[in-house]
């Protein structure tokens, strides 16, 4: 898109995958590294982000912030040159927040971007994420996990409500929210990606996913049985992609928006 990025904010950095892809792309085109601030609510994630990015980014160009994005105001002011960001990225994380927190988070990101600065968000946890033909996989995965829990005599507490991560919202929700808080959506794409058994084991072991997929069960047990239930569900439902690998297809939504001045 030809945007100059001197300052990047990566929200919910996880292990730094989104920022790393961006920096690798700059590096392959011999473009100088920007200053990069990564924010995540998890200290462990930030440590892994730091290790990952230090392979490509000088330490003095990196800032790590442990905070919830919906509470993070004044991020740009926390760093030496106090300049707002040119680009913010928020990969695979917005769906974990309630709509109210999503709104506060997007306002914080907007306030830390320069007018005309860009924000990219992506999620594979929206209403249009699951192709019809892959639905048997989810049924097999969850019912397999619940079967193991029953065999272990672990009961579900039916009074526990489903958390935010289990409530999928349509793509239009994200589009409208961005527009409401002062962004102009400049592109929206949905692309089909093959997810592997490794991906599902990793996701199943992730607290926020497990607490949504098997809410009401003890979290440790939910994670453990979801991981164990991946292989049988894959054997039953996975299909071979173009590369010959077994997988389950899923739609990724990606929105790119510009801060209105």
Ligand X SMILES: C[S@@+](CC[C@H](N)C(=O)[O-])C[C@H]1O[C@@H](n2cnc3c(N)ncnc32)[C@H](O)[C@@H]1O
Residue among 13 and 134 whose Cβ is closer to ligand X = 13
Residue among 112 and 146 whose Cβ is closer to ligand X = 112
Query: Smallest distance from the beta carbon of 98 to ligand X, in angstroms?
Result: 10
Query: Smallest distance from the beta carbon of 46 to ligand X, in angstroms?
Result: 9
Token code pair at residue 67: 């905070």
DSSP letter assigned to residue 126 = B
State which residue has the least CB distance to ligand X: 14
Collect contacts of 96-105 with beta carbons under 8 A, ≥24 apart.
Answer: 96/12, 96/164, 96/165, 96/208, 97/69, 97/70, 97/164, 98/164, 99/169, 99/173, 99/177, 101/68, 101/70, 102/70, 102/177, 103/177, 103/180, 103/181, 104/70, 104/71, 105/11, 105/69, 105/70, 105/72
> CA-to-CA distance for 241 and 249, rounded, in angstroms?
9
Residue among 48 and 246 whose Cβ is closer to ligand X = 48
DSSP letter assigned to residue 34 = P
Chain centroid to CA 84: 23
Query: Smallest distance from the beta carbon of 125 to ligand X, in angstroms?
Result: 9
Query: Smallest distance from the beta carbon of 3 to ligand X, in angstroms?
Result: 20
Query: Smallest distance from the beta carbon of 70 to ligand X, in angstroms?
Result: 6
Q: Which residues bind ligand X (CB under 6 A)?
A: 12-14, 17-18, 39-42, 45, 68-70, 91-93, 96-97
> CA-to-CA distance for 58 and 140, rounded, in angstroms?
46
Residue among 103 and 156 whose Cβ is closer to ligand X = 103
Token code pair at residue 205: 């072991």
Residue among 42 and 73 whose Cβ is closer to ligand X = 42
Query: Smallest distance from the beta carbon of 79 to ligand X, in angstroms?
Result: 18
Residue among 46 and 178 whose Cβ is closer to ligand X = 46
Torsion angles phi and psi, residue 14, rounded to 5:
60, -120
Indicate the pairing of strand 113-123 with strand 239-240: unpaired
């Amino acid at each position: 898109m030809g945007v100059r990025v001197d300052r990047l904010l990566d929200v919910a950095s996880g292990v730094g995958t989104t920022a790393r892809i961006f920096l690798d792309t700059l590096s392959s085109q011999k473009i100088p590294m920007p200053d990069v601030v990564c924010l995540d609510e998890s200290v462990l994630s930030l440590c892994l982000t730091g290790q990952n990015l230090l392979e490509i980014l000088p330490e003095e160009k990196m800032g790590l912030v442990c905070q919830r994005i919906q509470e993070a105001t004044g991020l740009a002011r926390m760093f030496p040159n106090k300049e707002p960001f040119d680009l913010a990225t928020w990969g695979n994380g917005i769906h974990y927040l309630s709509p109210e927190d999503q709104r506060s988070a997007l306002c914080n990101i907007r306030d830390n971007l320069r007018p005309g600065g860009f924000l990219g968000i992506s999620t594979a946890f929206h209403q249009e994420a699951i192709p019809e033909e892959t639905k048997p996989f989810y049924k097999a995965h969850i019912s397999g996990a619940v079967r193991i829990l029953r065999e272990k005599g672990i009961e579900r507490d039916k009074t526990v409500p489903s958390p935010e991560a289990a409530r999928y919202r349509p793509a239009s929700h994200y589009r409208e929210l961005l527009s409401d808080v002062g962004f102009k959506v400049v592109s929206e794409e949905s692309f089909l990606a093959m997810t592997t058994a490794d991906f599902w084991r990793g996701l199943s072991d992730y607290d926020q996913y497990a607490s949504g997929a098997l809410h009401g069960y003890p979290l440790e047990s939910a994670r453990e049985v979801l991981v164990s239930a991946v292989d049988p569900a894959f054997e039953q439902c996975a299909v071979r992609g173009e590369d010959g690998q077994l997988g389950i297809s899923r739609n990724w939504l990606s929105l790119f928006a510009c801060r209105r001045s």
